[in-house]
Amino acid sequence: MSGDTKAGLRAARLAIRDDLSITERAEKSTAIQRHGLAGLDVPPGAIISGYYPIRSEADIMPLMAMLSEKGARLCLPAVLDRETIVFRAYDPAEPLVDAGWGTMGPRPDAPLVDPDIILLPLSVFDGRGNRIGYGAGHYDRAIDRMRKRGLSPRLIGVAFACQEVAAVPEDPHDVPMAAILTETGLRILPDPN
């Protein structure tokens, strides 16, 4: 059934997310910020990647600013080409520039960093920590490159609860998430290993 493929699930859940009203999205984003601030364990100096919201994504920019005030170092992804994103150090006091594919990020001369924690924008997720993004494989590849260098960033998905499905089809390249942050709370997932 095409509805159960990654592409079918992505289209269906993005349509549901797009249908949230501006007010609903703002209220849910505020709840996500609250749960994130209360629940995320951020060691001093840890580097956290967030994202500048596009389309109908949850807005976590205020959460990032609050985490920065608590001592986190921030970064944002930038699209280099069809296959590659990198993470640029982000100072909330600095203006953002075009970072590709409709996103905003730090200036190209900002230092490249390896995040300890990645807040991942999701299209679809399941209760086992499997995820679907926009289908470009940008995060999949960036995470894979880090793991090949011996790094294992903590992956925390960010989504609205209406984006959850019973099961996301698993591909060999998929790395499961450690937790999922929605307006209903921060759900820590069991380690699959």
Ligand X SMILES: Nc1nc2c(c(=O)[nH]1)N(C=O)[C@@H](CNc1ccc(C(=O)N[C@@H](CCC(=O)O)C(=O)O)cc1)CN2
Q: Which residue in 144, 169, 188, 192 binds ligand ATP (CB under 6 A)?
A: 144
Question: Which of residues 53, 127, 137, 185 is near ligand ATP by CB under 6 A?
Answer: 137
Residue 114: helix, strand or coil by DSSP? Answer: coil
Q: How far is CA 179 from the centre of its chain?
A: 11
Q: Alpha-carbon distance 53 to 30, whole Å?
A: 14
Q: Contact letters (x/-) for ligand ATP, 162-181, by CB under 6 A?
A: ---------x-x--------
Kindly compute the dihedral angle of the four CA atoms of residues 48, 54, 140, 66, in this order, to the nearest 10 degrees: 10
54 binds, among ligand ATP, ligand X, none (CB under 5 to 8 A by kind): ligand X
| CA separation for the pair 119, 51 (Å, rounded) | 7
Does the footprint of ligand ATP cover residue 146 (CB under 6 A)?
no
Strands 97-100 and 103-105, by their bridges, are antiparallel
* Distance (Å, whole) CA 48 – CA 7: 29
Residue 141 binds ligand ATP, judged by CB under 6 A: yes
**Binding site as annotated, residues for ATP:** 6-10, 131-139
Instruction: Give the footprint of ligand X on this chain (CB under 6 A).
Output: 51-54, 57, 77, 79, 85, 101-103, 121, 133-136, 138-139
**Binding site as annotated, residues:** 6-10, 57, 131-139
Instruction: Give the footprint of ligand ATP on this chain (CB under 6 A).
Output: 6, 132-141, 144, 171, 173
